[in-house]
Amino acid sequence: MNLLDIPFLADLVAIRRDIHAHPELAFKEARTAEIVARELAAYGLEVYRGLARTGVVGVLRKGSSIRAIGLRADMDALPLHEKNDFSHRSRHEGKMHACGHDGHTTTLLGAARYLAENRNSLDFDGMVYFIFQPAEESEGGAAVMIKDGLFEQFPMDAVFGLHNWPGIPVGEMAVMPGAVMAGTCAFEIAVHGHGCHAAMPHQGVDTLVVASQLVLALQTIVSRNLHPCESAVVSVTQIHGGEAWNIIPDDAVLRGTIRTFKPEVQELVERAIERLCSGIASAFGAQIETSFDLRYPPTVNGVAETELCRRTAEAIFGEDKVRKNELPSMGAEDFSYMLQVKPGCYVWLGNGPGTGGCSLHNPHYDFNDDILPFGISYWVSLVEGALQADVLTQRIDLLP
């Protein structure tokens, strides 16, 4: 294991816990952005603000090369009530850093400080863009930054992302080519029947019975329509209908999520949902309307960039601590928008078992401060690896 000595680690832990205690939701990360901008300026970096409202970009230049890479961290929190009782727990009820974006932001700040303070002794030539992105959680802040001119204002050859991952031990990292996170689509199914007295169900069309049939039928889409070697998830997460205990309601609504890795699989799932809805509507004498809201696309790593990240990780963690065949996650990530425009790679940094063994988006979650040196060492080594020789302009050299 080849970790950097981070003499200012205590400063970073204090920043991380301060951000954790003051979580801010999508596009409202004003306080967090102020901390980021202040720190970057103190390190001597150029600081740019305003992309996607609260986004911040720091620029570090060394040498004469025009080559550049982007390193991205997300800043927003989740609308979740925190159940931890440590001193840095959320001070804003109903808001919580339950996904580790406080740690991602702090890790990238640590890398920026280390690179700035040691640039003369480090072997790289070019520009590093430190991208602090708002609104990753369901609001697509990456897409907004791109629309606001991120890649025009800061031209870069490749872009890289990192996420902490509970369940992967501290001191390990997962680096996989291809799809690592699923694309996501929200669906809504509106059921229209005929309301009546609950004691006289024969006089109506029971929308709740229809909705119940749909919940069960939707579970057959993946198991009976999709090739067994393909992957998808269809989950109903909401059912709304009725207001009284003795009235069968006119209407009911089901909502949920579809997760896929391929556009053709997404299309297959949508058509299957429509077909089931049509059949069940006919069988029960109801009317059913479906709608689909495509959100984040799949997160797909580039082959050459993944190879660069793999070699970087192995130099830091050791070859046996870098997972290359980890199964992709059905979770979604808006870093996917950046990877649609620029080549790059998104990796998972082991966070250990987490507080109480909890997972991401859990009210007991907390980012593990012990992994800050691992993340910083990875970022710094990646900059050196990407911005020396011609590794970005001659990607074929990266292949085994």
Count how many domains the chain has.
Answer: 2
Domain membership flag for residue 246: yes
Taking the CA of residue 84 as centre, how many other CA atoms within 13 Å lie in the half-sphere pointing to its CB?
Answer: 26
Domain shared by 142 and 221, yes or no: no
Contact 339, 181 (CB under 8 A): no
Domain shared by 146 and 50, yes or no: yes
Domain membership flag for residue 40: yes
Q: Is the pTM of this model over 0.85?
A: yes
Domain shared by 121 and 153, yes or no: yes
Domain shared by 52 and 149, yes or no: yes
Give the tens place of pLDDT for each residue, 311-330.
999 999 999 999 999 999 99
Q: Helix (H, G, I), strand (E, B), or coil: what is residue 225?
A: helix
Last residue of a domain, one of 294, 324, 344: 294
Contact 24, 98 (CB under 8 A): no
What is the C-alpha to C-alpha distance for residues 54 and 164, in angstroms, rounded to an integer? 22
Domain membership flag for residue 4: no
Give the tens place of pLDDT for each residue, 181-225.
999 999 999 999 999 999 999 999 999 999 999 999 999 999 999
Bridge-based pairing state of the strands 247-248 and 126-133 = unpaired
Report which of 229, 232, 263 is spatially closest to residue 336, judged by C-alpha positions: 263
Q: Helix (H, G, I), strand (E, B), or coil: what is residue 56?
A: strand
Domain shared by 226 and 176, yes or no: no
Domain CATH for 287: 3.30.70.360
Last residue of a domain, one of 231, 265, 294: 294
Domain shared by 68 and 171, yes or no: yes
Last residue of a domain, one of 276, 294, 312: 294
Domain that residue 20 falls in: 9-181+298-398
Domain shared by 391 and 310, yes or no: yes
Domain shared by 128 and 223, yes or no: no
Domain shared by 40 and 159, yes or no: yes
How would residue 338 be classed by pLDDT, with cut points 50, 70 and 90? very high
How would residue 395 be classed by pLDDT, with cut points 50, 70 and 90? very low
Per-residue tokens: 388: 């020396």
Domain CATH for 110: 3.40.630.10
How would residue 400 be classed by pLDDT, with cut points 50, 70 and 90? very low
Domain membership flag for residue 117: yes
Domain membership flag for residue 170: yes
Mind giving me the DSSP string for 59-109?
EEEESS---EEEEEEE---BS------STTS-SSTT-B--SSHHHHHHHHH
Domain membership flag for residue 1: no
Domain shared by 159 and 260, yes or no: no
Domain shared by 15 and 120, yes or no: yes
Domain shared by 212 and 289, yes or no: yes
Q: Residue 397: pLDDT above 80?
A: no
Give the tens place of pLDDT for each residue, 92-141.
999 999 999 999 999 999 999 999 999 999 999 999 999 999 999 989 99
